[in-house]
Amino acid sequence: MADTTAKPKGAAARSSGTRRRGRKNTSPGLGDEKPEELLDYYRRMLFIRRFEERTAQAYTQARIGGYCHLNLGEEATVVGLLDALRPDDYLFTNYRDHGYAIEKGMDPKKVMAELYGRADGVSKGWGGSMHMYDTATRMLGGYGIVGGQLPLATGAALAISYRGGDEVVVCQMGDGTTNIGAWHESLNIAKLWNLPIVFVVINNFTGMGTTVEMSSAEPELYKRGSAFRIEGVRVDGRDVLAVRDTTAELVERARKEQTPFLLEAWSYRQKGHSVVDPAKYRTEEQWEQARADENDPITLFEAKLAEAGVLTDELREEIAASVKAEVAEAADFAENSPHPDVSTLFDYTYATPVPNESRRMPADPVFAE
Amino acid sequence: MSVITYRQALRDTLRAEMVRDENVLVMGEEIGVFEGSYKITEGLLKEFGPRRVKDTPIAEEGFVGAAIGAAMLGLRPVVELMTINFSLIAIDQIINHAAKIYGMFGGQTSVPMVIRTPGGGGQQLGATHSQNIELFYSFIPGLKVLAPSTPAEASSMLRAAIRDDDPVLFLENLGLYNTKGEVPEDYAQPENDDVATIGRAAVTREGSDITLIGYSRMAMVATQVAEKLAQEDISVEVVDLRSLRPLDRQTFVDSVKKTGAAVICEDDWLTYGIGAEIAASIQEGAFDYLDAPVRRVAMAEVPMPYAKPLETAALPSVESISTAIKETLSAVGKRVG
C-alpha cells in the first residue's frame, strides 16, 4: 500500500528520467507503473490544485497582493515535466510559477510565505507570486515579462556547455511567448551554439484573452522549432505519464546530444489569466471545454486510478485529508511569518556594495547635516 | 608610466582579465573573426578560441539575455554592444532582468556581467548612431554605470567592472578611442590589482574660481577648457564623475562649496539629462555656497544631423563651455580674465 502521508518529495527524492526511457505508458493506459508511484503523482497534482485554490482564497481575502496566476488545470503538465528532470537540472519559468516551484523541490511553506510577502518567503518577500527562485533546488526563477526568461535560460545552458557539464535547462513559457522576438533569438542561439535546453510551451490556447489562432500565424506551436532545425514534439498535457515520458526523452537527448528541443504541452486553463480575470472573453463553448471532466487532469487521473483499483475511496479520502492538512500548514506558516523589516530595504540593490549608493527614504534630504 | 591610447588600455586590460580568470568570456557582434568594430577585441579569438570569444548573431536581446543567464551561473561575460544605440534592442533584458535579478530574488543570485558599449556624436553617423542614452541606465537601481575618460581610468575601471558582482554598463565614447594618456607600467599584467572603486568621482584638476563637471569625453573636454581658461587667469576646478550610478555627489558638492559656482558639461540632451541631476544635487547640497545659478552646457535638443556644420554646432565645445563659465563668473562680479 502506498504511503499516502508522505509529503511531496521534491525533485531530490525523485528518480532520474533516464530509467524510464523507452517505456510505453502513454494515455489512456497506466502501463506497468507501480501503484505507489501512481498515487504519488496523484497526490502531487492534488497538492498543487489545493495549494492554488488556497492561494486564490487568500488573494480574495487580500492576504496576497499583486498579480496571481494559477496552475489550475495544468497540474499534470507541471508534475510530469518536473518528474523527468534530475535534481541538478535547471528550471526557468514565466509568472505562472507556484506549482513549478513546489515540484522543483521548493518548500511549499516558503512558497506560500513569498505569496504573502513575508520574511520567510523564498525571496524574503521581494519577489511575490511571479518571482519564485531557489538556488538550492535550481529553480532559477519565475519571470514577469512574457518571454524574458528565454534568453536567460539560453545563457544558463551556455554556462553548462562552457563548463562541460551534463545538466539540462528546461525553460517553460506560455503559448503567447512564441510570437516575441526573444523566442526567435533564443531558439536560434540555442541551436547555433548547441546548447542543452528544452523549451517547453504550455499551450492553454489563450494568451490572456487572445487565442492562439488570433496571435500565431502557425498555431501548431511545436512545428515552430523547424525554422531553427529544432525538433518539436507535442504532448497531451492532461496526461501526467505522457508528459513525464516525453519530457524525459527530450531532456535525456538534450543531455546526450547537446542540442535544444521544443516541447508543446496542451492543457486547459480552468480559470482566467489571473485570479482577478473573470475571463469574459471566453465563449460558453470555451468554458465548457475548460471545465470538462475529460480535460481536468486530476479528475481524469483519479478515474483511471479508481478503475485500475489503485485508488480506493478510503485512500482518496486519506490523501485528500493529508493534502488539505499540509496546505493549511503552509498557509499558517505564511500567516505567522513576520513582515520583512523595513531596515532591510536597501539590502538587495547591489551584490558588491559601493560607496555613495543612494539609500534615501522618500522625503529624506540628499545631503543630511 | 607609459603613454597609450584609450583603445589600447581597454584591449590589454580585457585580455589580462581573461588570462586571470577562466570564467571571463567575451560575447558580441563581430568581436571574434572581425576582431571588433573598434578593434577592442583584436587578437582575442586567436589567443583564447571560440569558446571564450563568442561571435553572436545580430540579436541583441538574445545574446545580452544569454550573458545575463550565464552570469547567474557564475560566468563573467563581457558583452560588447557595437554601439549604445543597439542597447535599445536589449533594454528589456538590461533593465527588467539584469538590474532586477539580485533584488527580486532577495539577494539569492547576482549578475556579474559587463556590457561595454561606445556612443556619442561627432562622427557624422546621423540620428540613430550618435546618441548618448546613458541616462536610461543611470536611472535604474541595480545597474552600475561607468564612464571613464582617460586610458588609466579605462583600465582600472574595466578591471573593477569585470570583478564586480553586479551588472555594469561600461560606456566608451567614440571620440575617446584614439586619445592618449599615461598608464602604470603594469596596467596589462593579469596580476595587477589596481582596481578602481566604483562610485567615486575625482577632482582631476584643482581650481578656485568655478567647478566644471563632466564625464567621459566631456571630462576630457573640461580639462581642455580649464587649461585654456588658465591662460586667461581663470582658475577652473574639474570634476570627472567617472561613475554615473552610483553617483558620487559629495565630491562635486564639496568642490562647489569651495568655488561657489558650477558649470556642468554633458554630451547628452539637456532636458532630464545627467546634468539636471547634478544641478539638483548641487542645489540640495550647496545652495548656501552658490554665488550664481548653476549652468548646464549640453547637446542641442535635436536628433543628431549628419551634415558636419550642423553636427558640430549641436555638440558642446571648448568655446561654448568657456563662454558659459565666463558668463557665470561675470554674473556674480568675479573677474573674467
Which residue in the set B61, B197, B200 is minimally distant from A182, CB to CB? B61
Phi, psi of B8 (to 5 degrees): -65, -40
* Beta carbons of A126 and B106 less than 8 Å apart: yes
Whole-structure pTM over 0.90, yes or no? yes
d(CA B101, CA B31): 27
* B240 and B154 Cβ atoms separated by less than 8 Å: no
A346 touches chain B (CB under 8 A): no
Among B61, B89, B159, the strongest candidate for a mutation testing the A interface, having the largest count of A CBs within 10 A, is: B61
Q: Do A155 and B104 touch (CB under 8 A)?
A: no
pLDDT at B37 over 50: yes
Sequence-ordered list of residues with C-beta below 8 angstroms from that of A362, at least 6 positions apart, any chain: none
Q: What is the ipTM of this complex?
A: 0.95
pLDDT given for residue A209 in this prediction: 87
For residues A155 and B70, give the distance between their C-alpha atoms in angstroms, rounded to a whole number.
Answer: 4
Give the model confidence (pLDDT) of B81-128 as tens digits: 999 999 999 999 999 999 999 999 999 999 999 999 999 999 999 999
**B307 Rama sector, left if φ>0, alpha if ψ -120 to 50, beta otherwise:** beta
Res. B164: pLDDT tops 90: yes
Name the residues of B annotated as catalytic: 60, 129
A and B: number of Cβ contacts within 8 A: 178
Chain B residue numbers touching A356 (CB-CB < 8 A)? 199-200, 243, 246-250
Per-residue pLDDT of chain A (369 residues; tens, 9 = 90+): 333 333 333 333 333 333 443 344 344 578 889 999 999 999 999 999 999 999 999 999 999 999 889 999 999 999 999 999 999 999 999 999 999 999 999 999 999 999 999 999 999 999 999 999 999 999 999 999 999 999 999 999 999 999 999 999 999 999 999 999 999 999 999 999 999 999 999 998 888 889 999 999 999 999 999 999 999 999 999 999 999 999 999 999 999 999 999 999 998 888 888 888 888 898 998 888 888 888 999 999 999 999 999 999 999 999 999 999 999 999 999 999 999 999 999 999 999 999 999 999 999 988 865
Radius of gyration of chain B measured on its C-alpha atoms = 20
Q: What is the radius of gyration, based on Cα positions, of chain A?
A: 21
The angle that helices A35-60 and A297-307 make with each other, rounded to 10 degrees, is 150
Q: Check residue A2 and give its pLDDT.
A: 35
DSSP letter (8 states) at residue B100:
T
- Identity of the residue in A162, A181, A355 whose CB atom sits nearest the CB atom of B51: A162
Tell me if A38 sits within 8 A of A205, measured CB to CB: no
Chain A contact probe: residue of B105, B248, B250 with most A CBs at under 10 A: B105
Q: What is the pLDDT of residue A369?
A: 53
Residue A291 corresponds to which cell in the numbers above?
A: 471545465
- Please confirm whether the linkage preceding A340 is cis (ω < 30° from 0): no
Q: Is B217 helix (H, G, I), strand (E, B) or coil?
A: helix
Selected for mutation to probe chain B from A93, A158, A345 (highest B CB count within 10 Å) is: A158
Place of cell 563659465: B325
Q: What is the C-alpha separation between A49 and A52, in angstroms, rounded? A: 5
Which candidate, A182, A185, A198, places its Cα nearest to that of A259? Answer: A198
CA-CA-CA-CA torsion for A95, A96, A99, A100, nearest 10 degrees?
-60
Rounded to an integer, the average pLDDT of B57-66 is 98
Mean local confidence (pLDDT), B182-197? 95
A96, A148 Cβ separation under 8 angstroms:
no
Q: Which residues contact B322 (CB under 8 A, 6 or more apart)?
A: B225, B228, B229
Distance from CA of A331 to the nearest CA of B (A): 21
Residue B155: pLDDT over 90: yes
Report the 10 Å Cβ neighbour count for A199.
29
> Which pLDDT does position A22 carry in this prediction?
37
Cell numbers found for residue A96: 505562472
- For the beta carbon of residue B174, count every other beta carbon within 10 angstroms: 19
Interchain proximity B72–A140, CB inside 8 Å? yes
Give CA–CA dist B178/B170, Å, rounded. 17
Q: Is A349 on the interface with B (CB under 8 A)?
A: yes
Instruction: Establish whether the linkage from the previous residue to A28 is cis, with ω within 30° of 0.
Output: yes
